[in-house]
Amino acid sequence: MRISVITIFPELFREFLSTSLIGRAIASEALEVSVHNLRDFSEDKHQSVDDEPYGGGGGMVMMASPWIGAVRALRTDVPSRCVLMSPQGRRLTDARVQELAAGNEHLILLCGRYEGIELDWQPGQPGKYRVEAELNILDEWTPWIYTNPLELTPTT
């Protein structure tokens, strides 16, 4: 199984991927994981990946074009699934993990920030670069978990 992670925080994954069960699976070559910096797929000199929401409003959203470029570069002809980690997605369960792994040689995880991606590219849209699933790892929106994948309990 090959997993490609796209994030604006690739350095956060290094320690996590080298320890425990995941580290052993990678060492034994049962699992291949690559982490890609979303900014490498940006189209401007500042490597921008976020912008104000289309149509106004508060906050920021992720721009669609870097995500599309990243998926285009990573998706090959092998069976693959593209999954957006998002606070709006369905809860990630053990059963869902088993379903994603079955019949797929390549899993592409889109680890965003903020509350979403621009409206012009959303899960379920037809096409080669579409997102097949939108998942979250918690039942409620907690911005810190999508910023820091290693922090699993909020600080109070």
Confidence of residue 129 (pLDDT cuts 50, 70, 90): low
Q: Which residue has the higher pLDDT, 49 or 54?
A: 49
- Please report whether residue 128 resides in a domain: yes
Overall number of domains in the chain: 1
- Please report whether residue 155 resides in a domain: no
What CATH number is given to the structural domain containing 131?
A: 3.40.1280.10
Domain that holds residue 112: 2-147
Q: Of all residues in the chain, what percent carry a pLDDT higher than 70? A: 76
Dihedral angle sign, alpha carbons of residues 61, 12, 23, 155: negative
Q: Which residue has the higher pLDDT, 130 or 30?
A: 30
Q: Of all residues in the chain, what percent carry a pLDDT higher than 90? A: 27
Q: Does the pLDDT value for residue 123 go beyond 70?
A: no
The Cα–Cα gap between 61 and 53 comes to 6
* DSSP-derived 3-state class of residue 91: strand
Backbone angles phi, psi at 20, to 5 degrees: 55, -150
C-beta neighbour count of 42 within 10 angstroms: 18
The pTM (predicted TM-score) of the whole model is 0.78
| Residue carrying structure tokens 């034994």 | 28
- Please report whether residue 156 resides in a domain: no
The Cα–Cα gap between 45 and 114 comes to 22
- Please report whether residue 79 resides in a domain: yes
Degrees to nearest 5, angle at CA 147 with 91 and 90? 10
CB-count burial class (<10 Å; 0-12, 13-18, 19+) for 144: exposed
- Please report whether residue 132 resides in a domain: yes
At 156 the pLDDT is: 42
- Please report whether residue 92 resides in a domain: yes
The Cα–Cα gap between 107 and 118 comes to 22
